[in-house]
A = this chain, B = another copy of it.
Amino acid sequence: MKYWWVNQNQTYDHEVNGGYLWSPKVNANGARNQFYDNMMLASVGDVVFSFCDTYIKAIGVVKEKAVPSTKPTEFGDVGSNWSDEGWFLTVDYTILEAPIKPAFYMSELAPVLPNKYSPLQENGRGNQGVYLAFVPDEMASILVKLLDGQVETILDNSVIVEDDFSNYEEAKEIIFARADIEETEKKQLSNARRGQGLFRSRVSMVEKGCRVTGVTEKAHLRASHIKPWADSTDEEKLDGNNGLLLSPHIDHLFDRGYISFSDEGDLMVSHKLNSEILKTWSIESESNFGSFNQQQRKYLAYHRQNKFLS
């Protein structure tokens, strides 16, 4: 996770209400601009300190990578000298209940400002011409500390269950652009991303229902990859042993690494999961859900190693 700082004065209202950041791709004279290039470097989950009128007023969490987009029409005259071609970054903002004014804390902040591309001057005023600036870890920790728990709370609460398939269209495009495989396989691979088609049929030959809740009616089950689709080879993407049939809430927990299974089928519960969740959903955390076959164990080892939140 990276930290960013955005000097947002003129566009603060539009961007914060709209849930985005927008910058031109290059300067009006066509030259590269590091603060615009940074738009492409921001990753999903990164944190953005939103600076406006000398205060950090909001915290953003990046929700989608930047996509090309024309200048928001709502900017109107603001930025009329910006070129129309730019980057649109989806950001989920929380307006702070207790904004802070960095100028008040320059004794702490001045020593950790980056030498190059600093968003702040040593006097605590924003640097002209800076838009999205990288915040080094040391500076970020001081800001997080000054914000006194607000950033942590936002990160804890910012995520409501996202669909598992938010990047499906993108994954599909990449698959369909491949020249090394044929349409049948393209379709099979992209269907597998959503637990559909050939992958689903194959999983259904291995698993009879949701191991945790016992539901067997397919209308209520997801065919979920054990080793994530994105990490799997073509063969693994379509391997019935690389899947489980899970109820939607169990799929959610498994997919996000809150739970996993031992080879023998014992439920493993991450300490990152509030144990109340299992209680409210009536899931027996001490249960055994049946041993896995040899091929499934290979994939489960990957899940425990790479997905399970330890």
Q: Is the CB of A220 within 8 A of B19?
A: no
Q: Is the CB of B184 within 8 A of A14?
A: yes
Per-position contact with B for A52-93: 1 when CB-CB < 8 Å, else 0?
Answer: 000000000001000000001110000000000000101010
A109 contacts chain B at the CB level, 8 A cutoff:
no
Q: Is the CB of A73 within 8 A of B248?
A: no
| Given A165-B165, A196-B63, A197-B19: A219 in contact with B183 (beta carbons within 8 A) | no
Q: Is the CB of B73 within 8 A of A214?
A: no
Residues of B within 8 A of A187 (CB): 18-20, 90
Q: Is the CB of A222 within 8 A of B161?
A: yes
Oligomer copy total: 2
| Given A74-B182, A74-B183, A281-B247: A220 in contact with B188 (beta carbons within 8 A) | no
Q: Is the CB of A200 within 8 A of B74?
A: no
Residues of B within 8 A of A20 (CB): 183-184, 187
Give bound CA distance, A196 to B163, whole Å.
Answer: 11
Chain A 192-209 residues near chain B, CB threshold 8 A: 194-198, 200
A215 contacts chain B at the CB level, 8 A cutoff:
yes
Q: What are 20 A-B interface contacts by the 8 Å CB criterion?
A: A18-B183, A18-B186, A20-B184, A20-B187, A22-B183, A72-B183, A73-B183, A92-B197, A160-B221, A161-B220, A163-B163, A163-B164, A166-B168, A210-B280, A213-B280, A213-B281, A214-B280, A215-B276, A217-B277, A281-B281
User: Which residues of chain A have a CB within 8 Å of any CB of chain B?
Assistant: 14, 17-20, 22, 63, 72-74, 88, 90, 92, 156-166, 168-169, 182-188, 191, 194-198, 200, 210, 213-215, 217-223, 245, 247-249, 251-252, 274, 276-277, 280-282
Q: A19-B187, A160-B222 are in contact. List 9 more A-B contacts (CB 8 A).
A: A20-B183, A20-B184, A159-B218, A160-B195, A160-B223, A163-B194, A168-B169, A169-B169, A217-B277
